[in-house]
Amino acid sequence: MRARARALVEHQSFQRTVIVLIVFNAITLGLETSARMEAEYGGLLHVLDRATLAVFVAELGLRVYGYGWAFFRDPWSIFDTLVIGIALVPAAGPLSVLRTLRVLRVLRLVSAVPSMRRVVAGLLAAVPGMASVASLLALVIFVAGVMSTKLFGGIAPEYFGDLGTTLFTLFQIMTGEAWPDIARVVMAAAPLAWIFFVIYILVSSFAVLNLFIAVVVSGMEDQVTADLAEAEERNAEAQARSDALILEEVRALRAEVAELRNERDS
């Protein structure tokens, strides 16, 4: 029974049906955002949404049944469970924000289409390389945040009033957007504040640049190194083959000479 459930879920046309349903659901969820469509066909859209949700739940149930506990070992399965679970939580009262999160179901397209899965897995593979630089960047922003709250909190409370405000301001400065406006306001009262801004911009953009580089390098590494290693491997193989040939030839030559000696001896 389990094996049959598994065979069904792994069947190609079953998976294709699920993909089509996800796309269909994405369209109905998109239509729900239009007030006019909502007024005219709101009931129908809701019914369709419920129906697709029911299909998804049934699909998930089949997969859980088919794989047992092994189901939860695959992170993609957990992702599917969470995304569908959100839709099942009653979206009334304080949880009404969850209604908006229903559209996250469309992201199931990522886990359902293998090529998308590979892309996302590739993106995630770059994350560990970024982690150390990212934590350094967080530390730099925190230190700069506490410092500038102390230094400029009295001068420009709208930008540096408390730690939260300052962290937001520093994030803005890191993105480079309208930083001179902030700097000039502060510098009107504290002329030496340029030191802080220039150093902070240089350090934070250097760190961000290195974040990008970490990603690029890890991407390149996988790609270029794999290519080069393959070429290298091929060359080494050819070399090994020719070495084997030479060795064989030399051995034969030696046998020939040994034969010659024997002939002379006798």
Partner 1 sequence: MSRLRCHDVRSRVRELVEHKRFQQFIIWVIVANAITLGLETSSSLMASVGGLLHAVDHVMLAIFVVELVLRLYAYGWRFFRDPWNVFDFLIVGISVIPTSGPFSVLRALRILRALRLISAVPAMRRVVSGLLAAVPGMASIGALLALIIYVAAVMATKLFGANSPEYFGDLGTTLFTLFQTMTGEAWPDIAREVMAAAPLAWIFFVIYILISSFAVLNLFIAVIVNGMEKTVTSDLVEAEDRHAADQAASDQLILEELRALRSEVAELRSRERA
Contact 125, 226 (CB under 8 A): no
**Neighbouring residues of 227: CB distance < 8 A, sequence distance ≥ 6:** none
- The CB-of-172 to partner 1 minimum distance in angstroms stands at 11
Q: Both tokens of residue 266? A: 């006798």
- When binding is defined by CB under 8 A, the residue of 78, 176, 199, 238 that contacts partner 1 is 176
Q: Is 151 in the site for partner 1 (CB under 8 A)?
A: yes
- When binding is defined by CB under 8 A, the residue of 11, 16, 118, 150 that contacts partner 1 is 150
How many residues bind to partner 1 according to rule CB under 8 A? 61
Encoded one letter per residue, x for contact with partner 1 by CB under 8 A and - for no contact, window 181-210 reads x-x----------x---x--x----xx-xx
Spatial separation of the C-alpha atoms in residues 100 and 11, rounded to whole Å: 32
DSSP for 116-142?
HHHHHHHHHHTHHHHHHHHHHHHHHHH
Q: Is 253 in the site for partner 1 (CB under 8 A)?
A: yes
In eight-state DSSP terms, residue 178 is T
- When binding is defined by CB under 8 A, the residue of 41, 76, 79, 142 that contacts partner 1 is 142
- The CB-of-236 to partner 1 minimum distance in angstroms stands at 4
Q: Is 47 in the site for partner 1 (CB under 8 A)?
A: no
- The CB-of-18 to partner 1 minimum distance in angstroms stands at 40
The alpha-helical segments, DSSP class H, found in the chain are 2-10, 12-32, 35-67, 75-88, 97-101, 108-112, 114-125, 127-152, 157-160, 163-175, 179-189, 193-220, 226-265
Buried b (16+ CB within 10 A) or exposed e, 81-108: eebbebbeeeeeeeeeebeeebbbbbbb
Spatial separation of the C-alpha atoms in residues 214 and 127, rounded to whole Å: 9
For partner 1, the closer CB: 125 or 240: 240
For partner 1, the closer CB: 189 or 224: 224
Return residues touching partner 1 (CB under 8 A).
Answer: 132-133, 135-136, 139, 142-143, 145-147, 149-151, 153, 162-163, 166, 176-181, 183, 194, 198, 201, 206-207, 209-210, 213-214, 216-217, 220-221, 224-225, 228-229, 232-233, 235-236, 239-240, 243-244, 246-247, 250-251, 253-254, 257-258, 260-261, 264-265
